[in-house]
């Protein structure tokens, strides 16, 4: 079966040429906060004051801002505020104090009117970053191999909900459906559910999947690629349950909001976003542990006390935990599995939040809504959350993307594709292959020169959550 999938005729869609634009950057490539345990003020070294919400008039509290990173290229020139900036400032003013990094991140990315993802195509060379499905068709084809193998382990059910979280342009799903098109029993079992909150990206997915509307009120269509029903939902909870489910979450977790905490002489304090006297956004530390700090730090049970003792900063995503638990409960009761691929670490995350605009790093607080915000994924927290939610699931991995794709047979696939293409397509294939697995264990073709972009092979990790009755999924055996 794998050989049949890996040796099919290549698509005539032109492969990505392996452009120098990176996808999501490595943790080491961004400036981090100082490890000082005594947080001084962000620029001058003095102590600022903010009014405490609900406090007696005239009462102030001190807020330390030690070692908080303020890049030299941060512009303080007065500029007209965007609608999103006005909205964020109104929230802070209404609260009477700063908001969490998590709330700032959520507004910046998914605010219905001005969020980064909501109104335009942000992917590819003309966008702000590039993802694996846009690098090469082989990525989506390998995910197709994985879904067919899991479907076989599930006992070939006649109906399966295939859910993709954050499908971007729909490129991965397009390549998956084309790559598995010869397995009619599989494709005919599929009901595709795309979890996407952006109206602009929903339209793009509808177009790329060659959908014809069947029920606009129910956001249901039929994809001409496989005659498969396609549904759109704003959240995973909206997807009907009670049916065997396969979930794909590729570069979805990294965009979920994170809370950031910094160690100080007062203990763990939460990093917040405030508005300074110059009307610019700035980072501050809470004057005392917030409810989020008290609750979330206790939930880090997957990290040993020794690990936490060495850290000066900690990053935690409660929405990632909640999403994982929803997935695990669904898989535990309905059968199926989930595949999570993202850049992250097999350990607790210290400080990784970053902003990318037009393929370049920018300050996190500059021009909110114009840049992508993302953070490293804490894979141990995903494992812990899944196992905590359901006794009927098992968690496998993480393994590197290079190991994952190599074990599924990407080497055989690229070899088959190279037999049926011209010189330009061959170069594009090799470049795309390198981007996907480079710097990892799978490559049999090395990058051509020192200018070859850094590969995603080891920076991206893969993890699977499956129903306990289905055994160990490929390629985690």
- What would the pLDDT profile of 369-407 be if each residue is shown by its tens digit? 888 899 999 999 999 999 999 999 999 999 999 999 999
Dig out the tokens for 25 from the structure.
């950057």
- b/e sequence 123-142, b meaning 16+ C-beta within 10 Å: bbeebbbbbbbbbbbbbbbb
Q: Which of 354, 164, 343 is nearest to 258 (CA)?
A: 354
Beta bridge mates, 17: none
First-to-last C-alpha distance (Å) of the chain:
17
Dig out the tokens for 18 from the structure.
């392996």
Q: Which of 19, 37, 36, 50 is nearest to 286 (CA)?
A: 50
Whether residue 10 has pLDDT greater than 90: no
Q: Which tens digits make up the pLDDT trace of 283-341? A: 999 988 888 888 877 767 677 777 777 888 989 999 999 999 999 999 999 999 999 99
**Please, is 421 exposed, middle or buried when counting C-beta atoms within 10 Å of its C-beta (0-12, 13-18, 19+)?**
middle
Which pLDDT score is estimated for 441? 54
Confidence of residue 34 (pLDDT cuts 50, 70, 90): very low
Query: ∠ at Cα 326 (173, 307), nearest 5°?
Result: 100
User: What is the per-residue DSSP string for 24-90?
Assistant: S--GGGS------SS---SSSSS-EEEEPTTPPTT-EEEE--TT----TT---S--PPPHHHHHHHH
Enumerate residues 6+ apart whose C-beta is below 8 A from 477. Answer: none
* CB-CB contact of 140 with 176 (8 Å): yes
Q: Averaged over 72-99, what is the pLDDT?
A: 80
Residue 447, domain member (yes or no): yes
Which pLDDT score is estimated for 350? 85
Which pLDDT score is estimated for 131? 76
Residue 456, domain member (yes or no): yes
Q: Which tens digits make up the pLDDT trace of 230-262? A: 999 999 999 999 999 999 999 999 999 999 999
For the chain, percent of residues with pLDDT exceeding 90: 53
Cα dihedral sign for 415, 417, 423, 428?
negative
CA separation for the pair 10, 20 (Å, rounded): 24
Q: Which of 401, 342, 370 is nearest to 27 (CA)?
A: 342
Cis amide prior to 188 (ω within 30 degrees) = no
Confidence of residue 358 (pLDDT cuts 50, 70, 90): confident
Helix, coil or strand: residue 444: coil
Confidence of residue 349 (pLDDT cuts 50, 70, 90): confident
Supply the range of the domain harboring residue 191: 79-256+315-476
Whether residue 55 has pLDDT greater than 70: no
Whether residue 450 has pLDDT greater than 60: no
* CB-CB contact of 238 with 327 (8 Å): no
Q: Phi first, then psi: what are they for 384, rounded to 5°?
A: -60, -45
165 or 67, higher pLDDT: 165
Dig out the tokens for 312 from the structure.
């000066």
Which pLDDT score is estimated for 132? 84
Residue 172, domain member (yes or no): yes
The CATH number that applies at residue 343 is 3.40.50.12710
Cis amide prior to 475 (ω within 30 degrees) = yes
Q: Give the count of beta carbons closer than 10 Å to the beta carbon of residue 264.
A: 21
Tokens 């104090």 belong to 97
Q: Which tens digits make up the pLDDT trace of 90-135? A: 999 998 899 999 999 999 999 888 888 887 665 555 554 567 888 8
Residue 193, domain member (yes or no): yes
Residue 437, domain member (yes or no): yes
CA separation for the pair 423, 109 (Å, rounded): 40
DSSP 18: -
Q: Which tens digits make up the pLDDT trace of 13-23? A: 333 333 333 34
CA separation for the pair 77, 223 (Å, rounded): 49
Tokens 């490890």 belong to 35
Residue 407, domain member (yes or no): yes
Query: ∠ at Cα 280 (278, 286), nearest 5°?
Result: 100
Residue 269, domain member (yes or no): no
Q: Would you give the distance in Å from CA 251 to the centre of its chain?
A: 3
* CB-CB contact of 460 with 341 (8 Å): yes
Residue 21, domain member (yes or no): no
Q: Averaged over 197-202, what is the pLDDT?
A: 90
Which pLDDT score is estimated for 286? 92
Per-residue CA distances from 177 to 29, 84, 137, 150, 425 (Å): 36, 38, 11, 15, 22
For the chain, percent of residues with pLDDT exceeding 70: 76
Per-residue CA distances from 364 to 21, 31, 143, 361, 391 (Å): 20, 11, 32, 9, 39
- What is the number of domains present in the chain? 1
């Amino acid at each position: 079966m794998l050989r049949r999938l890996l040796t099919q005729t290549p698509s005539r869609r032109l492969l990505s040429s392996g452009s120098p634009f990176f996808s999501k950057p490595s943790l080491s490539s961004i400036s981090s906060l100082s490890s000082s345990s005594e947080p001084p003020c962000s620029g001058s070294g003095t102590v600022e004051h903010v009014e405490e919400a609900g406090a007696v008039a005239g009462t102030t509290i001190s807020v330390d801002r030690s070692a908080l990173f303020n890049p030299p290229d941060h512009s303080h020139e007065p500029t007209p505020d965007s609608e999103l900036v006005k909205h964020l400032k109104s929230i802070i003013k209404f609260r009477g104090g700063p908001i969490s990094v998590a709330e700032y991140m959520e507004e910046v990315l998914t605010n219905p009117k001005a969020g980064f993802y909501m109104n335009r195509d942000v992917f590819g060379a003309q966008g702000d970053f590039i993802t694996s499905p846009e690098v090469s068709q082989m990525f989506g084809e390998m995910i197709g191999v994985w879904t067919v193998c899991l479907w076989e382990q599930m006992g070939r059910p006649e109906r399966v909900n295939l859910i993709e979280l954050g499908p971007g342009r729909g490129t991965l799903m397009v390549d998956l459906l084309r790559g598995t098109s010869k397995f009619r029993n599989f494709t005919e079992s599929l009901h595709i559910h795309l979890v996407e909150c952006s109206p602009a990206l929903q339209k793009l997915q509808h177009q790329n999947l060659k959908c014809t509307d069947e029920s606009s009120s129910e956001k249901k269509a039929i994809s001409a690629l496989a005659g498969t029903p396609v549904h759109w939902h704003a959240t995973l909870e909206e997807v009907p349950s009670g049916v065997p489910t396969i979930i794909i979450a590729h570069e979805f977790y990294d965009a979920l909001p994170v809370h950031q905490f910094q160690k100080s002489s007062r203990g763990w304090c939460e990093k917040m976003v405030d508005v300074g006297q110059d009307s610019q956004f700035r980072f501050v530390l809470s004057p005392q542990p917030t409810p989020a700090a008290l609750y979330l730090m206790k939930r880090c049970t997957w990290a040993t006390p020794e690990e936490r003792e060495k850290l000066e900063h900690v990053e935690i995503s409660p929405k990632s935990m909640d999403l994982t638990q929803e997935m695990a409960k669904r898989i535990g009761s309905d059968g199926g599995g989930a595949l999570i691929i993202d850049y992250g670490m097999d350990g607790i995350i210290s400080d990784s939040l970053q902003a990318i605009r037009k393929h370049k790093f920018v300050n996190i607080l500059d021009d909110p809504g114009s840049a992508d915000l993302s953070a490293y994924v804490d894979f141990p927290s995903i494992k812990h959350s899944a196992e905590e939610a359901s006794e009927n699931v098992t968690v496998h991995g993480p393994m590197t993307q290079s190991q994952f794709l190599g074990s599924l047979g990407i080497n055989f696939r690229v070899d088959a594709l190279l037999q049926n293409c011209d010189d330009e397509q061959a170069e594009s294939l090799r470049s795309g292959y390198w981007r996907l697995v480079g710097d990892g264990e799978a490559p049999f073709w090395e990058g051509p020169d020192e200018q070859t972009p850094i590969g995603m092979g080891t920076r991206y990790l893969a993890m699977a959550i499956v129903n306990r009755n289905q055994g160990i999924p490929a390629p985690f055996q």
